[in-house]
Structures are given as C-alpha cells and as structure tokens.
Amino acid sequence: MKRTLPAKTWVKVGMQLLLSGWVCAAGAAETQRTAANITYRIPEGVYINAGTDQGLRQGLVGSMVLEDGRTLVFEVMQAARNTALLRLDGAGSSLVGSLQARPVELVFEAAAPPEEKAKPSGKDEPFVPLLAPARRAPEVAPTQNISHGNVGVRQTYQGGTDNQQDYAVTRIYTSGNIDRLFGSAWSFNWSGNARYRTGDGYRSHPEFETVQPLIYSAMLQHPLAGDGFVRMGRFLPLELPGIGYLDGAQAEVETTGRWRFGAVGGLKPKRIDLDVSGDEPTVAGYATFEAGRRNSAYYSGTAGLLGALYKGEADRLAVLFDQRAGFGPRFNLFSTAEFDFDVANTTNSQTQLSRLDLVATSRLHSLLTLRAGADHWQRTDSQAQRDLLPFIVNDQLFDDGYWRYWIGAQHDLPWRLNLNEEVAYTVSDATDDAMRWRVGLTRSSLFGWTFANLGATLYNLEAQDASGYGGLLRAYLPFWNGRLAIRPSASLRWLDPDNGGDGLSVTYYAIHLDGRISRHWTLTGGLTSTSGDGADALLFDLGLRYSW
C-alpha cells in the first residue's frame, strides 16, 4: 500500500525549510506610494491605470494595499506610461477575480535618482606619483543584450480533506525582457509558466499528471518616433487590454503631443491552454487622446474598433473604450467599456453593452474620501464563446447578466486609524437582487512600527438559503525594512440557525511569509486551514524566485 506523509508533517518540513533559508539583509530606500485602479484581470495578473509616469518599472516588487486593508505582494510584469501589468504573489493570486475596477494603493521603493558627478576644477586633482601603477579602468555598463527578469518555482499541496480532494501542483514560471538586442533598438519580452498537477483532487482533470505550458508573452518591440512603437509575436496590448492575447503584430504612431493612433492584428490563441490556433483571426484599430497632466486637470481616453472571425464566419464586432480623467488631486474618474454589435450567427446574438466599469473618487478632506461606481457584465453569444463552454449550452446562459451599483467612503482618523465602508446593490437575472455592505477598520504604524497594520472587516452574507454576517481579521508585519513580511489572517462567519445556519464558526485561518533573502532571491510560503461546508482542508505553499 502506498504510504503518504500526514499533512501536519508536510507543514512542519515546509516551515523549517522556509525559516532555515531566511537570511536577513538590511537596507534603506525611499518609499513611494501611488494610488491606482485595477482595470482588467487576466490569468497572468491584473492591469492598473498607473505606469512608468508614476514610478513603476518592469521587475519592481512592492506591496498592494486593498480598500479593506489587506496587503498583497506584487511584481510589475510590463509597464507603459499610464498602465502596467502586475502579478500577485502567493495568496493574492486567488483574489484576482474579485479586484476588477477596485481602487488600490501601491507601496514600493522609488528608483534612486542618478548621482551627479562634480566636474573637475583643474586645481584639486589628486597627486599621482610618476611610477604609480596604472589605474584600473572603470567597468562600463553593457550597451547590448541588457536583461532583466525572474524565474521561480512554487509548490502547492492540499491535504487533510475528507472527500478525496488532496492534490499537489508544481509551477515553474519566468518573465523578463532583453533591451538593445544585439546592440539594436529592438527589445524582447517574455512571460510564461509550466505546471504539473497530481493527486486525487485532479484525477479526472484533463491536465492530470501532465506538464502544461502556458506562454503569455513572447514578443519583439522596436521604438518609433515619439512614444510610437511596433511589436510582433505573442502579446496582450497594454494600450487596450480588452483586445485579448494575440499572435500577430501591433504598431502605434504619435502624430501630435496629444493624439496617438494604432492598429493590431493577428490570430487569437486557444482560450484555455493558449496553444497556437488559426480559428479566430482578429484585427483592431484604436486612437488615444491625452491632455493635461496628472495631479491637475487631465484627460486620457482610448477608443478602438475590434472585429473577429471564428472558423471563417463573422463572430464579433465591438467598440472598446477606456478613459480616465481628473480635476486636480481631489477628483478622479475611471471607466472602461465594451459594446458588442449583432454579427454572430447564434441564437442570442444581439447589440449589447457587454461590460462596463465606472469608478469616481473624490477626496474632500483627510477625514472623508467618497467613491461611487457601477459595474455591468453580460455574456456575449458568439460561436467562440459556445465552443469554450465545457457543457451543453442553454439559451438561459445568455441572459442580461448583472448590474452592480455601489457607494463607499474612507476616513483617515486620528491615531493612524482608517475607516472604510461600502454599500452595494446587485441586480441579476441569475440570482435574487441583493444589498450587501462592508465596513473595515485598519490601524497603521503599530507602536511606531512603520508600514505595519492590523485590521478587521465586517460584512453581511446574503444567499438563497442562508443569511448572516462574516468577518476578516488580518495583519501585515514587516521586518528589516520590509525584507520579511508576515501576514496572518482569519475569517469567521455567523449564519442564522433559524434558517438552517450553523451559528458562529471559523471558516479559515492562515499565515503567509514573504522574504527577500538577498538582492536576487525571494522566498515565499504560507499555510491555510479551511473548514465548514464539508470542505475541510490544509493548504501549504512554498515558492522561491530568482531575479536579475
């Protein structure tokens, strides 16, 4: 009989490896804080409406602070002037689906300004003896094949389940870029991973005990005049992410200081495994208009027209739109939308607003920041969508989707307290209309401990067969100038026993560690225990990343 180690033994071994591999290396750097909104989510991470103009750069690692005080670790995968793609490490990757259109704060080390060298005066040159040995020539920075990137491995193990859902997943990932390729103006960017799944929990999965590679990006890029560029290969356009992944080419030109025009075309890879496919040729043209400057009156908008075939038939024609505007630091507006036309030869194809995210934020005073918004999503009935679904398609699946309207506020209180609340109302054809609220309180700089915080969030639970309240307790404890961060958390809920609930229970507790062993090495790990609803489990993950 095959013998397996108990889950607790795996946990002890993993924590010993995590702690024994820790090496403290202190260092001070100026910290920068940037407010942004999450604009899109993709399997690789999240897009935000901040970029190089706000100090972000490829390979940068920092902390993302959510509205409720939770802190996640991010890494910048790609960055343009006003947009960037972030990968969330460890436990943060499971939250990607719930962060669409949400405001966040990024905390990271600002790039050091270039040192100004004093010009020699001719009078204070050091004395050099005649017979002194020649000085060693200073090292010259490379002028070609300048590479920055990372490669890492992450091991996840779930055990202790009562329903034969134990599993293990090994994932190897890498991303980076090479500038001035062979001394030219070309650059090369790549991003991808490979994973291996095993265990009873994946026994019926098509990827069971097979290596599944996923290539997100492999592209060449060349600058044009101004901020223009041309790129080719596999990529997801940063300028209008709603286009999706493409194997093809893109070009953008700047005509004036305010207008930029671009075109992109190619073949969409398969939706699930991103294998090369010729089923879905796609083209799009777009224009971007910018005026003003950040932190003052400004506007930036990108509009594009996208067309796609699927297996030789017209399948999609859509207008994509992103915009952001501000009137000084006290008011900001962000929106993104997709409007589809009736071109697909399917039962429920229609002209519709498929997606809308609208967020308005106004900082009236340090004691009051108001925000409000609306979210909408409706599934498009296209042949590509139908082939993607792994079951027999029912026309009821293509309903009117949902609308979500919300309003919230944030208050910076004395004693470094931050109060955050939000009320949302959701209208959906699939479920009953529901009102949900959330309130959170965070205490920062605990006992003078810079960047440390402790917080609690309370929210209501509304479902068809249960109602009650939920709560989240969490802390962020950085050590050695943030080189080691410990993030404990726990979740509780109370379901009304009169309606079949189980009263008060702990649904999960967890502890995660993020540590920078050195300039190049980063070690992450965590332990999560879940319970309730017949899904008791112990989840352990350990990751190691090398950056250069």
Q: Report which residue type is found at 110.
A: A
DSSP sequence for 283-349? EEEEEEEEEE-TTSEEEEEEEEEEEEEETTEEEEEEEEEEEEEEESTTEEEEEEEEEE-S-SSSTT-
Q: Which amino acid, 476?
A: Y
CA distance 115 to 109: 17
Q: What's the pLDDT score for residue 78?
A: 78
> Which pLDDT score, from 0 to 100, does residue 1 have?
40
Q: Which residues pair with 304 in a beta bridge?
A: 286, 320
Check: CB of residue 218 under 8 Å from CB of residue 233: yes
pLDDT of residue 96: 53
Residue 487: name the closest of 508, 517, 510, 470 by CA. Answer: 510
Residue 227: which residues within 8 A CB-CB, separation 6 or more?
81, 252, 254, 260
Profile the chain (548 residues) by mean pLDDT over runs of 10 residues.
Answer: 44 42 42 77 77 81 74 79 76 57 76 48 45 47 79 90 82 91 91 90 82 92 89 91 92 89 95 90 95 83 95 93 86 91 85 92 88 91 82 70 92 90 89 86 81 90 80 89 86 82 85 88 91 80 91
The residue type at 304: G
Q: Which helix (H) or strand (E) holds 15?
A: helix 7-20
- Residue 287's pLDDT is 96
Among 473, 491, 498, smallest CA distance to 532 is for 491
pLDDT of residue 10: 44
Specify the pLDDT at position 511.
93
Q: Are strands 402-413 and 417-428 parallel, antiparallel or unpaired?
A: antiparallel
Q: What is the dihedral of CA 73, 77, 82, 83, to 10 degrees?
A: -80
* 3-state secondary structure (DSSP) of residue 52: helix
Domains and CATH numbers, the chain: 29-111 (2.40.10.340), 143-215 (no CATH)
What is the residue whose two structure tokens read 């139908």?
A: 386
- At 501 the three-state DSSP class reads coil
Cβ neighbors of 43 (< 8 A, separation 6 or more) are 214, 216
